Every structure is written in C-alpha cells, then in structure tokens.
Amino acid sequence: MSKITWKPGTMLAPVPPALISCGTVEKPNMMTAAWTGIIASDPALTYVSIRPSRYSHELISKSGEFVINLTNLPLVKAADWCGVKSGRNIDKFKEMGLTAEACSEIKAPQIKEAPVSLECKVIDVKSYGTHDMFLAEIAAVNVDDKYIDDNGKLWLEKAGLIAYVHGFYYTLGRNIGKFGFSVEKKPNKTKKPEFEKKAESPEIKFNRQSSRKCHSEQNNIFEMRKPKRLSDVRKKRGDTPKLKKFDGEIKFKKARRENEVMLSAAPKKHYGKLKTKPK
Ligand SMILES: Cc1cc2nc3c(=O)[nH]c(=O)nc-3n(C[C@H](O)[C@H](O)[C@H](O)COP(=O)(O)O)c2cc1C
C-alpha cells in the first residue's frame, strides 16, 4: 500500500453541511456551510468561513450575528438547495417550507425544523484568501425537546444527523463506541459495557435500523441475499424439468427460407449491402 501525494486542498471529511441562518425573523436568509467548526470549549467559540460574494456574508457583516443549524435527513434537500441558490432575490425559507424562529440571545433567526441551533455573536473577522472567517462566541444552544428524555439527557443520535463527504451527503452509521471506550477496563463476560447497552436500547436500535434503511434507499444499495439459482430450487423441490425437444434447427431453417425469399425479391441495387447473395 502506498499513498499518492496531491497538491494542497480542502480534503477534510466528514464535515457538517450546516445551514447558517442570518438576517432577521422578518427578512431571513440561510446558506449552507461546510467550513465551520469549534475553536474552543470555554468560552464556547466557533467559526464559519464565507466567501465575500455570498449574500449571507453581507448580512452577517452588518448584524454580527448568525445561527449554525445542524442538519438531518429531513433537511438534506434544503442543505443542498440553499448551497446552490442565493437569497439575494429569493426567500429561501419560503421556498424550502421552513420556519424562521426567534432566538433567545440574538436577532438572527434560527431554523425551527433544525434539531439543534447554535446562536452565534461575531467577535472577529479574518480574511484568508477566498474566504472570510467569522469567529464567533456561541451565545446559546437551542435543542429540539423531542431528543431530550425525562432525565434531561440529550439523545442526539435520534436526530438522524447528516454528513458531507467529498461532494456527497450521508446519514451516519451505527454507534461503534463512546468517548474513552478504548481505555475502559475490559468488562467481565456477563456484564455488557455501558455503550453496548445503549446501542441495544430500543430507541437506538430503531434509529440504527431506520438510518440503515435510509442509507440503503439513498444509495440504492439493498441488503442482498445470496441469489437462488432456479436449478438449486428445483433440485431441493425434487422436480427436475423435462427437457423440451430442441426445435432451434427447424426455426433456423424456416428463417433462412424466408430470408432467401426476401432477398430474391429485393431490387438488385440492395444485393451489394447484403452479406448473403440470393441464389
Ligand atoms: C455542501 C455545501 C457546503 C458549502 N460550504 C460553504 C462554505 O463553507 N462557505 C461558503 O462561503 N460557501 C459554501 N457553500 C456555498 C454557499 O452555500 C452558496 O454559495 C449559497 O448559495 C450562498 O447563499 P447566499 O448568497 O444566500 O448567502 C456550500 C455549498 C454546499 C452545497
């Protein structure tokens, strides 16, 4: 195995196809951004890198506010569409049937339908070539309460979040371990580790199954069973079919006769193109 070295590029994956909402509740806009991430946890700092040509760049520069909305399967069309259409002359919220909802700490709107929305206040803007990086403080986090259980625990895996990988959108796969599992003490055989127990919970199981289904549907990959051969099925059933008498020879002879009649009836100028010259 060897690696091929390419020229510098943005080959970081997966990244979030986040929907960045901005403007106001009355006149909202949103754009898709994959160049977004976390800078520090305390204070909670984030960034989004936006080309100066985007309408959202203009709105965020003016207001100093934006919202990072996480996207899930129901929002994948909006994530793509808002990433190819500018809101300069269209109302993207209206076009996508989404709701601009008021935030708690800022005037920029959040997307009501998004599972999680991070309210952001810009603290600095840095220009880096093609993109300007809006550095921001996360002022509040809004989470859809359907993902929070009675004990206040957030089950974000239920949200069906999506990822963006090298030009394609994906749903996430199954839970394969929790933070720190690699250093956890080996469990004794009778006791399952905590993360495995959670993966077995009916909610997770359902989520995993539905996510797998979505994945298969999206990629047109269906769980394949080994195809059964007709001969195997018959062998098992014990009914070997009787072979039909081969009548290919008769058919062939008949076809040749008809062909000869056709050729002899054809005008002479066509003979040259025909491979068989009529007798
Ligand atoms: C998956 C995806 C990721 C994108 N990421 C970014 C990004 O990080 N920064 C950016 O400036 N544009 C990005 N874009 C392009 C903008 O979303 C797009 O130009 C959009 O139309 C701008 O909308 P606006 O003019 O209404 O602001 C991305 C597009 C897609 C589809």
Per-residue pLDDT reduced to its tens digit, 171-189: 999 999 999 999 998 767 6
Q: Specify whether 220 is located in the same domain as 131.
A: no
Please tell me the predicted confidence (pLDDT) of residue 260: 55
92 CA from centroid of ligand 1 (Å): 13
Choice among 113-127, 134-148, 224-238 with the minimum mean pLDDT: 224-238
Q: Tens digit of pLDDT for each residue in 207-240?
A: 555 555 544 444 443 344 455 677 776 777 776 6
Q: Which atom of ligand 1 is nearest to the CA of 83?
A: 17
Ligand 1 lined by 18 (C-beta under 6 Å)? no
Three-state DSSP state, 48: strand
Ligand 1 lined by 61 (C-beta under 6 Å)? no
Q: Specify whether 106 is located in the same domain as 190.
A: no
Look up residue 54 and give its DSSP letter.
Answer: S
Identify which has the larger pLDDT, 191 or 107.
Answer: 107
Q: Specify whether 79 is located in the same domain as 212.
A: no
Please tell me the predicted confidence (pLDDT) of residue 196: 63
Q: Specify whether 122 is located in the same domain as 227.
A: no
Tokens of 116: 């999680």
Identify which has the larger pLDDT, 85 or 198.
Answer: 85
Among protein residues, the one whose CA lies closest to atom 13 of ligand 1: 33
Q: Which atom of ligand 1 is nearest to the CA of 57?
A: 27
Q: Specify whether 136 is located in the same domain as 192.
A: no
**Which of 54, 66, 94, 96 should be mutated for ligand 1, with most atoms under 8 A from CB?**
54
Please tell me the predicted confidence (pLDDT) of residue 194: 66
Q: Specify whether 235 is located in the same domain as 160.
A: no
Q: Specify whether 55 is located in the same domain as 144.
A: yes
* C-alpha to C-alpha distance for 234 and 70, rounded to whole angstroms: 54
pTM of the full predicted structure?
0.72
Please tell me the predicted confidence (pLDDT) of residue 170: 98
136 alpha carbon, distance to own chain's centre? 27
Q: How confident is the model at residue 271 (pLDDT cuts 50, 70, 90)?
A: very low
Please tell me the predicted confidence (pLDDT) of residue 235: 74
Domain that holds residue 145: 18-165
Q: Specify whether 181 is located in the same domain as 159.
A: no
Identify which has the larger pLDDT, 242 or 22.
Answer: 22
Q: 108 burial class (0-12, 13-18, 19+ CB within 10 angstroms)?
A: buried
Tokens of 240: 């070997």
Q: What percent of the chain has pLDDT over 90?
A: 66
82 alpha carbon, distance to own chain's centre? 15
Asked if the model's pLDDT at residue 37 lies above 50, the reply is yes
CB contact at 8 A, 22 and 60: yes
Q: Specify whether 126 is located in the same domain as 204.
A: no
Tokens of 117: 């929305």
* C-alpha to C-alpha distance for 131 and 145, rounded to whole angstroms: 35
Tokens of 109: 């709107």
Q: 139 burial class (0-12, 13-18, 19+ CB within 10 angstroms)?
A: middle
Residues, the chain, total?
A: 279
Flag whether 144 is in a domain: yes
Number of compact structural domains in the chain: 2
Please tell me the predicted confidence (pLDDT) of residue 246: 56
| The pairing of beta strand 168-171 with beta strand 162-165 | antiparallel
Q: Specify whether 79 is located in the same domain as 133.
A: yes
